[in-house]
Amino acid sequence: MKRRTAFVCDESYFWHNTGNGALFLPAGGWIETDVHSENPATKRRVKNLLERSGFIRELVSIPPRAATAEEIAAVHDPAYIKRVEALSQTTGDAGELAVVGYGSFEIACLSAGGGLRAVDAVMRGEVDNAYVLHRPPGHHAERDKGMGFCLFNKVAVAARYAQRAYGLKRIAIVDWDVHHGNGTESIFYDDPGVLFVSLHQENNYPPGRGSLSDTGAGAGEGYTINIPLPAGTSDAGYLEAIRTIVAPVIRQFGPELIFVSAGQDASLFDPLGRMMVTAEGFYQMAQEMLALADQCCQGRLVACHEGGYSAAYVPFCTLRVIEALTGIRSVVEDPFAPTFQHLPTQVITHDQRLYLQMAKEQHVKRWSVLQT
């Protein structure tokens, strides 16, 4: 079924400057100058592929607006917001590996506002769903500090906005970025109105976060679902996790809106992850999420781009996600597919199955008890 999918993007997003570095560290000492992992090409090439293939004409392009300081302060400490603004005049680090380039504050506000514009479009029925291609990413940003390339937590800002602007009582956030969505988890850890689900590589980043036993606190106890997966998990493992753990819990929760923190760094070519998800795997994952949105909230879904650091492969993975949202397949074939057809991308190993079983027992059974 063809759907109206909003595409929110702005040239300014590509102007956020993370400087020279190597992987995630700045150049200097023994580190020779290279390109920082979170550089514009990883996102710009997504837009380039959409335009080159003509698929962008299948989308409803919507310009973002800048989020106000008050809207950002709904999830971030005002003092932290002012700190990012001050650093933006000189450059610096807003926390742990969270580079603020010259002018990054304005870009980060526009990036957060992209999510708000997407929420408006979906909630007002202007479109069926939306994909927001923005940077810097956001899911690591805590209330009072930046982390892991993230300045403002865009999906958290958008979810809180949806609660306040549209009176939503139940929102689900599914984060499939290869790294744990620690900032989003922290912000909603005691909020029973937001079900937060994170599928991530076990013991990757941040260290010590995303444990199976981290399930929320206070009134939010049970509303955080962490699914740490072992390195090497591929399409089959992710789909099994979504179908047997994520889907049953979300159906019981009954969200009025679903967000996806769409980090395509679980791909088999990503330099900052050790997973094996293919572009087609991301397509199927997005299909599963869209089916849940259809069942629970009239198809209302907003996907916000997070990580993904293979500049060569992220565009194909993200295109497949957007294809799933529209219900239309593009003319683009995955040119890398012949190189990994021999790999076990459709296999769940014994260790992976044990992890999935532990997560299922922890969350699905516990959630069933919680709801009785």
State how far the Cα of 184 lies from the Cα of 205, in Å rounded to an integer: 14
Task: Characterize the bridge pairing of strands 129-132 and 5-8.
Answer: parallel
Using an 8 Å Cβ cutoff, are 131 and 325 in contact?
yes
Q: What is the DSSP letter of 302?
A: E
- In the sheet that holds 25-26, the strands lie side by side as 25-26, 20-22, 34-35
Only one residue has tokens 């392009």, namely 61
> Annotated active-site positions, please?
140
Which backbone phi and psi does 50 adopt, to 5 degrees?
-60, -40
- For 305, residues 6+ apart whose C-beta sits below 8 A from its C-beta are 43, 46, 131, 132, 133, 134, 135, 137, 262, 263, 264, 318
- DSSP states of 80-112: HHHHHHHHTTT-EESEES-EE-TTHHHHHHHHH
State how far the Cα of 161 lies from the Cα of 199, in Å rounded to an integer: 24
